[in-house]
Amino acid sequence: MSLLKEKLEKGDFVVTSEIGPPKGVNIEPYLEEADKLKGKVTAINVTDIQSAVMRLGSLAVCHLLKERGIEPVYQLVTRDRNRLALQSDLLSAYVLGIENVLCLTGDHPVLGDHPQAKPVYDLDSVQLLKAAKSLNEGEDMVGNPLEGRPQLFLGAVVNPGIEPLEPQIIKMKKKISAGAQFFQTQPVYEVDKFARFVEKVKDLGVPILAGVVLLKSAKMAKYMNENVSGVNVPQELIEEMASVSKEDRPKKSVEIAVRLIKKLKPLCQGIHIMPLGWDRYVPDILKGIDLA
């Protein structure tokens, strides 16, 4: 059984982290960073052609993590594959020992480094969840029987800070009906707003892992406020990041993340840390969190 599933079903508070594969084949530095988190986080997400920038594939990196005794969460986007390839990749993942899957739609190619690429979007994230659930039940999405069925632990994403919130909750319910068994959220910086979201969805009965992105600078925080829907970094945090030198930014970023996580912990079933290349600072965050 998936360790992530086991812990969430037991009611344990979990922490997951994330790595983005390189644009190339020099994977060793990324695996070395992941090794530092072995035994300290429950699982590590592997992004799937993140931000529509061509990179090494998520499935391959998940397999390498699994071989090193690290539980992966396979992020799978619908942008690049049709329904045949998506179902095939889900089966391939399970055969390679990968059980956790985060089902996503994916950023449009015009936002990435190959803007001329043709998007597929044969399925959306809800339909992908439904297809994966069908595989778990022993059939492909058109009802053909499988020779052996996987037991995938299916996750989805929710944005608790977006306004109006009601359409997001409606989509969250659709994802649960389609097969979502856990949720990881978009970045959370406003604890009060997250608490209101949790209150509205508390009866859905699905574990929620609050997302925390490491702030690298005041400029990054302002960019997120202007360009990432549903994410708002409060002005006091922007000023806090602006008050330190470039050399002290990592320390301040860790301090802010630890403070946020301690406030979020009573409200959710886990935390998903998105370091965005600052993987080396995740152990410092974990040291600062009381998980007892």
Residue 291 placed within a domain: no
What pLDDT does residue 164 have?
A: 94
> Domain limits at 147?
3-285
Taking all residues of the chain, what is their mean pLDDT, rounded to a whole number? 96
CA distance 57 to 245: 36
Query: Is residue 182 pLDDT above 90, yes or no?
Result: yes
pLDDT band, very low/low/confident/very high, at 292 (cuts 50, 70, 90): low
Alpha helices of the chain — where are they, by DSSP H? 3-10, 28-35, 58-67, 83-95, 125-136, 166-178, 191-201, 218-227, 235-242, 249-264, 282-288
Query: Is residue 107 pLDDT above 60, yes or no?
Result: yes
Residue 290 placed within a domain: no
Q: What is the pLDDT of residues 204-238, one digit of tens each?
A: 999 999 999 999 999 999 999 999 889 999 999 99
Residue keyed to tokens 């058109």: 142
Q: What is the dihedral of CA 211, 287, 267, 276, to 10 degrees?
A: 0
Query: Is residue 174 pLDDT above 60, yes or no?
Result: yes
Render 113-168 in DSSP notation, one character per residue: S-TTSPP--SS-HHHHHHHHHHHHTTB-TTSPBPSS----EEEEEE-TT-SS-HHH
**Residues written for the chain:** 292
Residue pair 78/51 in contact by the 8 Å Cβ criterion: no
Any idea what the Cα angle at residue 19 is, between residues 106 and 240, rounded to 5°?
A: 95
Kindly state the average pLDDT of the residues 103-129.
97
Model pTM score: 0.96
Residue 292 placed within a domain: no
Query: Is residue 47 pLDDT above 80, yes or no?
Result: yes
Query: Is residue 119 pLDDT above 90, yes or no?
Result: yes
Q: How many domains, the chain? A: 1
Give the CATH number for residue 223: 3.20.20.220
Query: Is residue 43 pLDDT above 70, yes or no?
Result: yes
What pLDDT does residue 218 have?
A: 95
Residue 111 placed within a domain: yes
